[in-house]
Amino acid sequence: MAADRADYLVIGGSAAGMAAAQVIRRQAPSSRVTVLSEEPDMPYFRPMIPYVVTGRKKPEEIGLQGNGPYTAGGIDVRTGSHVDSVDVSRKSVAVKGGGRLSYGRLLLATGSRPYIPPEIQGTDAQGVFALRKLSDAREMARRAGDTNSAVMLGGGLLNLKATFALLERGVKVTLVVQSPEVLSQLMEPGDAGLIRDALDKAGLKIVTGRSAKGIISGKNGVAGVSLDDGSEMACGMVCIGKGVRPNIDFLPGSGITIDKGIVVDKNTACSTPDIFAAGDVAVTFDPVTGKRIMTGLWTNAVEMGRCAGYNMAGKKTAYAGTFGIMNATQVADMPFVSMGIVHTKGSDHEVHVRASGSTYRKVVFSPDGERLVGALFVGDITGAGMYRYVIRGNMNIGRIKPRILDGTLHYGHFLKG
């Protein structure tokens, strides 16, 4: 790439990067906005890649450009452009394969990548996946056509999504979870009963309290998995879902402050002038606890990316922070939402649970009972947005507490002050 210059340069063309680029495009119509993305594909909706595995969607059907809010033209998106380093004194970045691009303002929106535990031997075998990119989805779809069994390592939400994609393809799936229960980051084992029942009914075999030691390879790649209890499971493919790590490898020596991810202030600015960060790679703050936090959610990345876009274009905008956990989704047709503090075992939080055969609603208050700090709803997620509003606002709930408890909370309660 020849040396050139962008007024606004974005590294990472996904939720945060494209949301920022759209805002900048509108705020500064005559500026040069360039997005560098290492992926070969044009930006797409990452949460939809499981549908590429199932075959329900074609890659071209999940593209970002021209969809929903992603309509602003005049954004120069360069795919296959991996940034190797950032030189903050020269205000430029080095792109793999040669070339340097200078910037007026820079956004780091490089997201995260799957964590592959080094203690699992043989993860480089053909047929071992970690579903993160569209290219992974294509490869998984191909492999799923050639095998009838898979072992999934990790019981988090993303691996469950991959699991259901394979089940839909008719692949027999076994999920191996180290924790005592699935979705352990989003709920405590005692809260997961309804979801566990739904997973069992969907035909998923779940092995808890076990971890993988190694991948067993044959002439066609993966042939099985060996577990820490000495047992072995035969399978034709493996998917690893053991969490993610921020993409910051290109930043050492740049002087930008890192604390696991890229540390930003309330206006999404980094420690170095004219550089901002947003999305999975950024370390922001939790409005409930006030602590530094990183999250892995599309919605948060978009919101933060937009905020960064405004700040970069000169319209100072504070980011409202993000929850420890905020996830509204469904597994095995069972909707659930988990937000704020939901792990309460051994803590002095005030916890209330209402459960029926098909619903489970847990609300968590601060130890003095005056603030709502978390909620977990399974089966019935009615009003979740309002609970989110109350948690995020860190408000003293006073007389609306009974409404929070009986589920009759509505926006009118706030209009009345």
Shortest distance (Å) from residue 112 CB to ligand FAD: 5
- Compare residues 47 and 193 and give the one whose CB is closer to ligand FAD: 47
Q: What is the DSSP letter of 43?
A: P
Point out which span in 10-18, 22-30, 175-183, 264-272 binds ligand FAD (CB under 6 A): 10-18
Cα 250-252-258 angle, rounded to 5 deg: 100
What's the CA gap between 317 and 307, in Å, rounded? 6
Point out which span in 56-64, 109-117, 261-269, 403-411 binds ligand FAD (CB under 6 A): 109-117
What's the CA gap between 46 and 68, in Å, rounded? 15
Sign of CA dihedral 195, 199, 201, 206: negative
Site string for ligand FAD, 373-412 (x = CB under 6 A): ----------------------------------------
* Residue listed under structure tokens 């200078």: 102
Shortest distance (Å) from residue 165 CB to ligand FAD: 9
Q: Is 324 in the site for ligand FAD (CB under 6 A)?
A: no
E strands in 209-357:
212-218, 221-227, 232-234, 237-240, 244-246, 258-259, 261-263, 275-277, 282-285, 292-293, 326-331, 334-340, 350-355
Point out which span in 9-17, 196-204, 214-222, 384-392 binds ligand FAD (CB under 6 A): 9-17
Point out which span in 23-31, 33-41, 340-348, 401-409 binds ligand FAD (CB under 6 A): 33-41
Q: Which two tokens stand for residue 206?
A: 């779940």
Shortest distance (Å) from residue 248 CB to ligand FAD: 9
Q: Count the neighbouring beta carbons within 10 Å of the beta carbon of residue 173.
A: 23
Q: How many residues bind ligand FAD (CB under 6 A)?
A: 36
Shortest distance (Å) from residue 295 CB to ligand FAD: 7
Shortest distance (Å) from residue 46 CB to ligand FAD: 4
What's the CA gap between 173 and 6, in Å, rounded? 47
Q: Among 49, 106, 269, 308, which residue interacts with ligand FAD (rule: CB under 6 A)?
A: 49
- Compare residues 92 and 366 and give the one whose CB is closer to ligand FAD: 92
Q: Among 8, 20, 35, 38, which residue interacts with ligand FAD (rule: CB under 6 A)?
A: 38
Q: Among 28, 35, 83, 199, which residue interacts with ligand FAD (rule: CB under 6 A)?
A: 83
What's the CA gap between 130 and 116, in Å, rounded? 8
For 291-319, the DSSP string reads -EE----HHHHHHHHHHHHHHHTT-----
Cβ–Cβ under 8 Å, residues 254 and 272: yes
Shortest distance (Å) from residue 71 CB to ligand FAD: 18
Shortest distance (Å) from residue 147 CB to ligand FAD: 20
Q: Among 31, 272, 329, 359, which residue interacts with ligand FAD (rule: CB under 6 A)?
A: 329
* Residue listed under structure tokens 């999975």: 280
> Where is 392: in which H helix or E strand?
helix 384-393
Sign of CA dihedral 248, 250, 252, 256: negative
- Compare residues 163 and 366 and give the one whose CB is closer to ligand FAD: 163
Q: Which two tokens stand for residue 170?
A: 């008719």
Q: Is 279 in the site for ligand FAD (CB under 6 A)?
A: yes
Q: Among 92, 112, 311, 322, which residue interacts with ligand FAD (rule: CB under 6 A)?
A: 112
Q: Is 261 in the site for ligand FAD (CB under 6 A)?
A: no
Q: Among 44, 250, 276, 365, which residue interacts with ligand FAD (rule: CB under 6 A)?
A: 250
Point out which span in 66-74, 255-263, 275-283, 346-354 binds ligand FAD (CB under 6 A): 275-283
Point out which span in 254-262, 279-287, 355-363, 371-379 binds ligand FAD (CB under 6 A): 279-287
What's the CA gap between 307 and 310, in Å, rounded? 5
The DSSP bridge pattern shows strands 372-378 and 360-365 to be: antiparallel
SS3 200: helix
Shortest distance (Å) from residue 278 CB to ligand FAD: 7
Interface with ligand FAD (CB under 6 A): 11-17, 36-39, 46-47, 49-50, 82-83, 109-112, 131-132, 158, 161, 247, 250, 279-281, 296-299, 301, 329
